Structure 1
Amino acid sequence: MLITLKLEQLGCPSCVKKIESGIKQQAGVHAVEVLFNSSKVKVDFNEKEVSRETIASVIEKLGYTVKNR
């Protein structure tokens, strides 16, 4: 399943690596792409192993706000 999450404005390019690393650690995540300029996160994952809610929670635990949970 491929989803796109909209975040509050990202403050710096290093945020990209932080978010990608956090999400990639979740079982079932196949690919992650953080779009800095548009503050979006695209995630391809197996919904039998991880949920959209879990991915959003990981992002929020890293200190970012997800606008479309």
Structure 2
Amino acid sequence: MTKAVFNMEPFTCPSCVKKIESTVSRVDGVQEVQVMFNSGRVRVEFDEARTNADALQDTMVRLGYPVLSKKVS
């Protein structure tokens, strides 16, 4: 499994967190999504054979949440 941390602006409402968690968790290959409300971080564990960090970032951007930076490990 590959892990990625996406740094975003801090979220302003719990519904933003729910929207990201529910949408990203449905991407094929995603095993776990954790959104940290106050810090604006999104951690995703995924199978790199089925998706990648760029595709996950694109998913969040399409939802209206710009990604400031990302780290993949």
TM above 0.5, yes or no, is yes
- Give RMSD over aligned pairs: 0.9
TM-score, length of structure 1 as denominator length: 0.94
SS at match of 2:68: coil
Q: In percent, how many aligned pairs have the same letter?
A: 38
Deviation >2 Å, runs of 4+: none
Q: Is there any run of 5+ residues in structure 1 with no aligned partner, and where?
A: none
**Match of residue 33 from structure 2:** 32
TM-score, length of structure 2 as denominator length: 0.89
Aligned residues: 69
Amino acid at match of 1:60: V
1:14 is aligned to 2:15:
yes
1:29-57 deviation per Cα after TM superposition (whole angstroms, max 9, x unaligned) = 00000000100000000011001000000
